[in-house]
A = this chain, B = another copy of it.
Amino acid sequence: LTVWRHLLQYHRRTVHALDEELRAARGLDLDEYDVLVQLAEAPPEGMRMGDLAAATLIARSSCTRLVDRLVRAGLVQRSSDRGDRRTVVVALTADGRAVLRRAALTHLDGVAARFADRLAPEDVAVLGRILARLDPAG
């Protein structure tokens, strides 16, 4: 179906543009941003490495390396769970929270410009219903 192809095209362009925007404005790529968002929504103690990878749909090994970069940048902290010392817990630092807040401004503007502002509220609602049908797990 052509609709499917349009969806892919739209997604590709939009995500690419948002990624560039975020890189240019804040030095973060979209996956890094996504990780920070997940951590911001987690309890303040943080999230286990594996859960973070699952939530962001990133492979575990990629997640390890992405977190390495964020640790080097001072945006997140690793610590180990006292209960089960196999697991590693990742949490935002104060810096990380601040960077995320600024990045969110940039990013949400971009999403508004390329998505939300172009649609009537009913369209968004309809799209939501369609997605619910497409991705029951989602």
Contacts and interface: CB of A to CB of B under 8 A. Distances in A.
A13 B111 contact: no
- Majority secondary structure, A binding face: helix
A134 B114 contact: yes
Contacts of A6: 128, 131-132, 135, 138
Interface string A88-122: 00000000000000000000000100111011000
Given A57-B9, A138-B6, A1 B131 contact: no
A60 interface: no
Interface of A: 1-4, 6-16, 57, 111, 114-116, 118-119, 123-124, 126-128, 130-135, 137-138
